[in-house]
Structure 1
Amino acid sequence: MNVGAIALPQLPPERFRGVVEAAEEAGLEELWLWEDCFLTSGVATVSAALAWTDRLTVGVGLLPVPLRNVAIAAMELATLHRLFPGRARIGVGHGVQDWMGQVGARAGSPMTLLREHVTALRELLAGERVTVDGRYVHLDGVALDWPPTAAAPVLVGASGPKTLRLAGEIGDGVIISAGNTPDDVRAARAVIGDSPLVVYLHTATGPGAAERLEGERVRWGYDTIEDRAVSGDADAVAEQVGRWAEAGADTVVLQPAPDDPDPEGFVRFAATVATIRRGTPAAAR
């Protein structure tokens, strides 16, 4: 199981490079980014993060498909995979419907759009020439001149059972948001089968951790934060993360609160948690 961390888009873009470089220097396995309306672009930030680093895997979870023509999405992802082979993990999803409505991109059937978009996207990334006339996706003999030279997995974000079932069917992996308990992860795993599963996990450490997690409870409308978050020092968090791993997560991505006072410190903390999970002795950390 991998352990990663999220660099939240609430961080001003000019602060982003410091977080990325801290993650690389600390040996973090995966740094994940969001494309939330109306904060930062997923493609611009992942491109910059990959260019600033040599080893770090950078994920985007997720790119809302209503905002992109599938041909543009395929061109963007193919370019990333050819520039930085094996270092990008890209997820897509139907997006937050209220946000999609704000920009005039809300689909009558988000599930139909997601199916059509992901199916065509994977075919384009595989180097195929695609013709399709769907409800939302229309392509006439489109093929990429520069498709990826190796596999370019497309992960799909999901929440409810119907979307989870679809994501497990059409994607190369599934992403589920923070706030899911270990029991929720087990239920998701039962729906998606063997598909790789990325799980975000609310995490807080250091002074004010309890207050930040209470803020997350209120922000997301949870009745309780218990079993929805982890906190403590690196050893404590590493032990708690094991519960989500045992429930079926292949990658657990630690998600800080937006008011975390030290984003650079948080990614270093996540790297330490990952080291502990790998079983590295304390003297070697």
Structure 2
Amino acid sequence: MTASTERVSVGVRVPPCDRADRITATVRRAERLGFDAAWFPDSQLLWRDVFTTLTAAALGTERIGLGTAVTNLATRHPAVVASAARSVAELAPGRFTLGLGVGNSSVGPVGLRQSTTGEMRAGLALLRSLLDGEEHEFAGPAGTVRSRLRDPQPGVPLHLAASGPRNLRLAGEAADGAILLSGVSPRTLSGATARVREGERAAGRAVGTVPVTVSAYCEVTDDVEAAARRIKPICASIAQNGGAPFLALAGIHVDVPDTVEGVYPDLVHAEDWDAAVKVASAWVDDVTALRFAEEFCLFGTADDIARRLRALHADGVGGVFLQHVGSYDPPTELIEAVGASVLPAL
């Protein structure tokens, strides 16, 4: 998914929260309204299978870019991911991006740990070699075997989602793109991008050649204060999962315990969002929520959001994918609002 040189590429995150044919209808609507990409998260207990949904979307669309944001190499073996990626890429030539991450909501609910930076480095190398058609030596209890992926699909872009410094540098060293989870705050975004560029230098790559895509919660609204109160669980989740230093750079100081009771499965994917807002209010007050919305998110009028998207493009960000609040309904309202008023302004 290559960003336009004239403006930032604008995508939307679409959770596979319904039947694949219904999700495909949502993606078709985004395509008609001018979105550049649709990104699908992967969590086997929360949503439908991401590659099944991507297959339906690939067959049901013509132009829009499609990607995982993100799948993982913990609940899915790299060889399985390579086969799935090949299968989608051949249905949507030049439109598919394989976004990878450490696991997050996929690993937690089944008692697994997130992938380490070393495991991600090895996984990226293995995926690339399999997709390129090269043989790989797999080690198992019965010994080692050499195998390859039949009908490979060279050239599938591998993007790494990262928030910590080690994985940000790894994205610059070894991935085809970086997906930044730092939000759109200029202070945190510049720091995250700098780590990606450090990785490029370490690998001998030309600085600035690894494209950067930023994820951002978004709402077109005239009442940012009211909308901000709804994203308290997101702010609390970032603090809980190692993002407190990023928040502190923007003057947001939140201390959330490692374990939070009363929310399933976690704060950012809560099935009962109103309950999650109430729980998160113990650590995130209204003033903090508003600051978080203004610094990290794209909340405001269509003109406000368009202006900030232009500024991101001027700062070297190639793409943004917008997220709505909620995990178990499609981002229909966000797609309509941005498609009607923000994209035309760009």
- Under a length normalisation based on structure 1, what TM-score does the superposition of the two structures give? 0.84
Which residue number corresponds to residue 230 of structure 2?
215
Aligned to 1:274: 343
2:219 aligned partner:
204
Taking the TM superposition and a 5 Å limit, the aligned residue runs for 1:78-97 are 78-96=86-104
Change in Cα spacing, 1:56 to 1:101, as seen in structure 2 (3 Å) is closer
Shift of 1:39: 1.7
Q: 1:178: Cα distance to partner?
A: 5.5
Equivalent residue of 1:124, what SS?
Answer: helix
**Kindly tell me: are residues 178 and 189 of structure 1, through their superposed partners in 2, closer, same or farther at Cα, counting changes over 3 Å?**
closer
Q: What aligned pairs does 1:143-158 form with structure 2 within 5 A after superposition?
A: 143-148=148-153, 150-158=154-162
43, 48, 51: which is aligned to 2:56? 48
Deviation digits for residues 48-103 of structure 1 (CA, Å, limit 9, x no counterpart): 1111111111121100210111111111111111121111112011112x752542
1:118 equivalent in alignment to 2:124: yes
- Classify 1:68/1:261 alpha carbon distance in 2 versus 1 (closer, same or farther; 3 Å): closer
Number of residue pairs the alignment of both structures matches: 270
- Runs of 4+ that moved beyond 6 A: 259-262
Residue by residue, what CA displacement relative to the aligned partner does 1:200-240 show, whole Å, maximum 9, x if unpaired? 11111147654333221343326431211122333321112
For residue 27 of structure 2, the aligned residue among 20, 31, 35 is: 20
- Paired position in structure 1 for 2:178: 174
Contact residue 130 and residue 139 of structure 1 kept, 8 A? no
Q: Structure 1, unaligned stretches of length 5 or more?
A: 278-285
Q: What SS does the aligned partner of 2:70 have?
A: strand
* CA positional deviation for 1:44: 1.7
Q: Which moved more, 1:190-199 or 1:38-47?
A: 38-47
Q: Look up the equivalent residue of 2:65 and give its one-letter code.
A: T
Report the Cα distance in structure 1 between the residues aligned to 2:218 and 2:330, rounded to whole angstroms. 13
How much has 1:38 moved relative to structure 2? 2.5
Task: Give the aligned CA root-mean-square deviation in angstroms.
Answer: 2.7
In structure 2, C-alpha distance between the alignment counterparts of 1:140 and 1:262, rounded to whole Å: 43
1:70-81 alignment, distance < 5 Å: 70-81=78-89
In structure 2, C-alpha distance between the alignment counterparts of 1:171 and 1:104, rounded to whole Å: 28
SS in 1 for 2:214: strand
| Aligned-partner Cα distance in 1 for 2:323–2:68 | 13
Identity among equivalent positions (%) equals: 27
Alpha-carbon distance between aligned partners in 1 of 2:176 and 2:127, rounded to the nearest angstrom: 12
**Secondary structure of the structure 1 residue equivalent to 2:305:** helix
**Aligned 8 A contact 2:220 2:299 in 1:** yes
The 2-side partners of 1:75 and 1:250 are apart by 28
Does the 8 A contact of 2:160 with 2:177 survive in 1?
Answer: yes
Distance of 1:259 and 1:85 partners within structure 2: 28
- Name 2:259's counterpart in structure 1: none
8 Å Cα contact 2:222/2:301 also seen in 1:
no
How far residue 37 of structure 1 moved from its aligned partner, in angstroms, is 5.2
Aligned to 1:253: 321
Q: CA deviation at 1:18?
A: 3.2
Take 1:204 and 1:267, find their aligned partners in 2: how far apart are those partners?
10
CA distance in 2, matches of 1:261, 1:106: 27
SS in structure 1 of the partner of residue 107 of structure 2: helix
Letter in 2 for 1:165: R
Larger Rg: 2
Stretch of structure 1 that moved more, 179-188 or 249-258: 179-188
Say which SS state the counterpart of residue 227 (structure 1) adopts. helix
- State the secondary structure of the residue aligned to 2:156: coil
1:5 to 7, 12, 37: 12
Cα 1:38–1:259 shift into 2, 3 Å? closer
Structure 1 letter corresponding to 2:57: A
Q: Calculate the TM-score normalised by the size of structure 2.
A: 0.70
1:163/1:262 CA distance change after superposition, 3 Å: closer
Instruction: Could you tell me which runs of 5 or more consecutive residues in structure 2 were left unpaired when the two chains were aligned.
Output: 1-7, 198-207, 237-246, 253-290
- Residue 40 of structure 2 aligns with which residue? 33
Q: Distance in 2 between matches of 1:155 and 1:99?
A: 18
> CA separation of 1:84/1:240 partners in 2, compared to 1, >3 Å: closer, same or farther?
same
Distance in 1 between residues matched to 2:337 and 2:328, nearest whole Å: 12
Cα 1:99–1:3, aligned 2, differ >3 Å: closer, same or farther? closer
